[in-house]
Amino acid sequence: MTPPVAPGLLWTAWILVRKDLLLEWRSRARANALVFFSLSTLLLFSFALGPDTTFLKRAAGGTLWLAILLASVLALGESFRVEQENGALDGLRLAPADARALFLAKALANTALLVLVGAVLLPVLLALASVSPTLGLGRLAGVLVLGCLAISAPGTVYSAISSHARSRDVLLPLLLFPLLIPTVVAAAKATSLVFEGDPMLQFGSWLGLLAGFNVVYWSLGFALFPRVVED
């Protein structure tokens, strides 16, 4: 019989993602809470900024991404709490699971959650602000996925740090928000272009910027996360 071999990085990450998503699906409590929270945030923004519909139309992109950003604080804040409360993080580290696989898994699971939030928010936003995806659903989906990826990567690193610090609820947004300002600007601008049309062909450059942020933050997260969870 061949000796057991430590599973590869991507396979380990895949198993961990499935575990997290399965846990989410079984309880659905967190996902539900997140969706309802972001829906009420969206409504709040619309009421606070409304009722001028022309303004709401122009602010639609920004409103969407602010709602996703606020939801991300909740989602990311919770993402290590399950492990921390049950001491499961040590179990994960004792298993031959590379910490980098853990990072990929957590960050991807968080991305999936945020994309779900975005997908639920979009039809509501389209109705509230009376906008429609002029540049097409494909481009809209592209912005959504790239934006959520760019939020999750650094968010996962900071979440692992802040879940072990004092005042963790304040620390996570304090660290994350300044970092995400360029990302949110790019995502919001790109989304607005999808809604309003893009006569000067700027969509590509904003998307390129988002892709660039992803490359930087995913590589940094991948390299640095092991140092965050090591003992």
Partner 1 sequence: MLKNVRIALAVLALGLLIWAGYLGLVWAPADREMGDVQRIMYVHVPAMEMALLAMTLNFLCCVTYLFRPSWSMDSLAEAFAEVGLFFGGFGLVLGSIWGKPTWGTYWTWDPRLTSMAIGLVSYAGYLTLRRLVDDAERRAVWSAVVGIIIAVDVPIIYYSVRWWRSLHQMQSSPATVDPAMVRALRWNFLAFFALFVVFVMARYAIALARRRQEVTPPPLVLERAS
Which residues, including other chains, have CB under 8 Å from residue 20's CB and lie 6 or more apart?
105, 106, 109
DSSP secondary structure of 182-208: HHHHHHHHHHHHHHH--TT--HHHHHH
Of the listed pieces 49-57, 60-68, 130-138, 179-187, which binds partner 1 according to CB under 8 A? 179-187
Least distance between partner 1 and beta carbon 156 (Å): 12
Least distance between partner 1 and beta carbon 24 (Å): 27
Sites for partner 1 among residues 41-70 (CB under 8 A): none
Determine the residue type at 165: A
Of the listed pieces 13-21, 24-32, 67-75, 178-186, which binds partner 1 according to CB under 8 A? 178-186
Q: Is residue 7 part of the contact set for partner 1 (CB under 8 A)?
A: no
Of the listed pieces 51-59, 80-88, 92-100, 175-183, which binds partner 1 according to CB under 8 A? 175-183
Residue whose CB is less far from partner 1, 34 or 153: 153
Cβ(210)–Cβ(187) below 8 Å:
yes
Helices (H) and strands (E) in the chain, counts: 9, 0
User: What gap in Å lies between CA 123 and CA 214, rounded to an integer?
Assistant: 26
**Token pair for 59:** 């602010």
Instruction: Report how far Cα 221 is from the mean position of its chain's Cα atoms.
Output: 14
**Token pair for 108:** 């991807």
- Count the residues of the shown chain that bind partner 1, applying the rule CB under 8 A: 24
Least distance between partner 1 and beta carbon 23 (Å): 26
Q: Is residue 135 part of the contact set for partner 1 (CB under 8 A)?
A: no
Q: Binding residue for partner 1 (CB under 8 A) from 96, 164, 204, 215?
A: 164
Residue whose CB is less far from partner 1, 80 or 217: 217
Q: Is residue 174 part of the contact set for partner 1 (CB under 8 A)?
A: yes
User: Which residue blocks in the chain are alpha helix, DSSP H?
Assistant: 9-27, 29-49, 53-79, 81-85, 88-94, 99-128, 137-162, 168-196, 203-229
Query: Can you give the binding site for partner 1, defined by CB under 8 A?
Result: 154, 157-158, 161-162, 164-167, 171, 174-175, 177-179, 181-182, 216-217, 220, 224, 227-228, 230
